[in-house]
């Protein structure tokens, strides 16, 4: 059986011998630099880097030949506390080798294809394996250095049933959750919340509307926060389903925006009357926290596009057009407000 893997233009082929539970595997990967490395391995517990028993191929610094060495990716590797050193694997690896595609005349260069062969003894009646693959730019001596951290490189893990040839459904579920998470948060934090702020800033001065502007503002913001809470909860769940991947900035911005949104919602319960002497302090707090929440929400939407690898997608283009339209409306309303203010000032003189 063979399978194209979801990242790094990699693929894998295998033959499973059910009578003795052995697995013959060949992994096809590509180098991204002449001094780089390509690796493939199995994680006994989950589809993530930490805990993977890996076979990593690179050019021997002394002989110039391709070498394939075993490595165990324990938690210290992720933290980069110590160099990654080769050591025997604690799985039943019967044989392994690596060759460059193109025969003996082939050389290591960016884009060069390598084939990693391995024969493994699996646990009887256990045909699902978690496998991980990746590639890096440099090898220091015989220690591969950290791989790039783009979304493409952080998604190089999968679970497959070697008997049926089917990939685990979990990855498609995670992808669906990511899309739902992105859409909900883009609409709530990135569109509705700014619209609510615009409603309060520009409609409150229209006397003909009366208190309608307030109900429109509060309703929009509460609905946006409700949607945003759903999106935030989905994000937390995605983090639980992807223990090996941490998007630090996106996560921190998300927590900050959610906390500010929660404070804004709670502030409604403590809103002083217009005659109260603390009203002006409450308004200052409400404006500052509100605008900060809007800015963080919009920034994090763009950060989310980067995390999902959609920085040049039509989805981002659509969001940019929507946000640009809203900004254009704000500019027009701001100019109109200043024109009215200047006219009133002249009339009073």
Find out whether 250 is annotated in a ligand binding site.
Answer: yes
Contact in structure between 71 and 86 (CB atoms under 8 Å): yes
Contact in structure between 25 and 101 (CB atoms under 8 Å): no
**Tell me, what DSSP letter sits at residue 90?**
S
CA torsion angle 317 235 250 49 (round to 10): -110
Question: How far apart, in whole angstroms, are the C-alpha atoms of residue 235 and residue 185?
Answer: 10
Beta bridge partners of residue 121, listed in sequence order: 22
Closest CA to 311 of 187, 182, 135: 182
Cβ-count burial 84-121 (b if 16+ within 10 Å, e if not) = beeeebeeebeebebbbeeeeeeebeeebbbbbebbbe
Burial of 231 (0-12, 13-18, 19+ CB in 10 A): buried
Find out whether 181 is annotated in a ligand binding site.
Answer: yes
Residue 151's CB: how many other CB atoms inside 10 A? 15
Closest CA to 31 of 62, 9, 2, 53: 9
Question: How far apart, in whole angstroms, are the C-alpha atoms of residue 25 and residue 260?
Answer: 51
Largest Cα–Cα separation, the chain: 99
Contact in structure between 48 and 35 (CB atoms under 8 Å): no
Find out whether 92 is annotated in a ligand binding site.
Answer: no
Closest CA to 55 of 140, 117, 9: 117
Residue 156's CB: how many other CB atoms inside 10 A? 22
Q: Sign (positive/negative) of CA torsion 322, 328, 334, 339?
A: negative
- Annotated binding residues for heme b: 181, 217, 250, 286
- Annotated binding residues: 181, 217, 250, 286
């Amino acid at each position: 059986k063979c399978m194209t893997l979801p990242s790094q233009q990699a693929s894998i082929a295998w033959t499973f011998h059910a009578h003795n539970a052995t697995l013959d595997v060949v992994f096809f990967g590509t180098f991204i630099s002449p001094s780089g490395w390509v690796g493939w391995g199995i994680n006994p517990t989950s589809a993530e880097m930490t805990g993977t028993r890996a076979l990593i191929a690179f050019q021997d610094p002394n002989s110039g030949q391709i070498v394939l060495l075993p490595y165990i990716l324990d938690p210290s590797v992720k933290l980069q506390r110590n160099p990654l050193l080769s050591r025997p694997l604690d799985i039943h690896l019967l044989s392994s080798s690596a060759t460059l595609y193109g025969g003996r005349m082939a050389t290591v260069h960016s884009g060069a294809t390598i084939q990693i062969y391995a024969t493994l003894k699996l646990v009887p009646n256990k045909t699902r394996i978690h496998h991980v693959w990746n590639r890096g730019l440099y090898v220091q001596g015989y220690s591969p250095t950290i791989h790039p951290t783009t979304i493409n490189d952080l998604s190089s893990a999968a679970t497959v049933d070697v008997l049926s040839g089917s990939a685990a459904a979990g990855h498609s579920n995670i992808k669906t959750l990511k899309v739902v998470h992105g859409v909900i948060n883009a609409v709530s934090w990135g569109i509705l919340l700014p619209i609510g702020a615009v409603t309060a800033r520009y409609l409150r001065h229209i006397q003909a509307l009366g208190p309608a502007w307030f109900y429109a503002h509060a309703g929009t913001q509460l609905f946006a926060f409700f949607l945003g809470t759903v999106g935030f909860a989905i994000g937390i769940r995605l983090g639980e389903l992807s223990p090996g991947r941490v998007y630090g900035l996106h996560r921190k911005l998300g927590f900050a925006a959610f906390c500010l949104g929660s404070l804004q919602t709670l502030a409604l319960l403590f809103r002083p009357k217009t005659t109260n002497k603390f009203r002006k302090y409450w308004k200052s707090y409400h404006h500052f926290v509100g605008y900060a929440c809007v800015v963080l929400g919009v920034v994090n939407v763009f950060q989310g596009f980067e995390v999902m690898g959609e920085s040049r997608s039509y989805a981002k283009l659509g969001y940019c057009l929507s946000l640009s339209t809203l900004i254009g409306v704000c500019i027009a309303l701001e100019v109109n407000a200043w024109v009215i203010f200047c006219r009133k000032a002249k009339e009073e003189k």
